Amino acid sequence: MPLDAARSGFAPPLSLRDVAVDAPDGRALLRVGALDIGPGEAVGIRGPSGAGKTTLLHVMAGLIRPARGAVRWGDTDLATLDEAARDAFRRRSLGLIFQDFLLFEELSPLGNAAVAAAWAPAAERPEIRARAAGLLDRLGVPPGARGVSGFSGGERQRVAAARALAADPAAVLADEPTASLDRASADRLVGDLLALARERGRTVIAVSHDAAVIAAMDRVIEVADGAVVAAGAA
């Protein structure tokens, strides 16, 4: 269930209104009339392949700027910001987890998990590195000096989860986070991610075809043919 009011103040609410994303040829890729996600909610996004799930997630993350409409995290409307301002908001407020990990092969687990420190103000870098090390420990990944090239899929995705949380974001957005994992690794990752998010009142939004991931969420958004067709209980 969502966090109670006393613990849900860390993440701002997310509100989408009259959002439209079009392909270069003018074809409609996504249409969202109204969608709200409350502070501290864990929300799954599901639907058939090509339905627009990842497009919706990318709009929420500011990776795609809609042709029209509003994408508000609290008082910040990502749809009104230029690319540099959206990038800055994402670094400050959002943690992203991708299906294909996107790790730096030559870096250690700690080097990957603490990569946000490279763009942070100097005064914040030690805290990010310390938080990254603590997250790796909790997720069962040795920080180690070796690169991650020999890591299993489960180990890689746990490093990616630590990276997403290391800068203490208000929300974590994940795109098929368990797609390349075995069942045991997938269940562990989702359980750990939700536990770590709920400790800080973070919102979690995950696109997934994995029924177990969807079942772990507070509620589910159904996407079909580029439109939100339902947003109810899991």
Separation CA 64–CA 6 (nearest Å): 33
Q: How does pLDDT run across 97-156, given as a tens digit for each residue?
A: 988 778 888 888 999 899 998 888 899 999 999 999 999 998 888 777 678 777 888 888
CATH of the domain at 180: 3.40.50.300
4 found inside a domain: no
* pTM listed for this prediction: 0.89
CA proximity to 145, closest of 116, 122, 117, 112: 112
**Domain assignment of residue 5, yes or no:** no
Structural domain includes residue 112: yes
Distance CA(154)–CA(158), nearest Å, equals 6
For all residues of the chain together, what is the average pLDDT? Answer: 89
Asked, for residue 199, whether it belongs to a domain, the answer is: yes
| 17 within a domain of the structure (yes/no) | yes
Domain that holds residue 64: 13-233
**Per-residue pLDDT reduced to its tens digit, 56-95:** 999 999 999 999 999 999 999 999 999 999 999 998 899 9
Number of domains in the chain: 1
In a domain, 7, yes or no: no
* 99 is a domain residue: yes
Looking at the domain assignment, is residue 3 inside a domain?
no
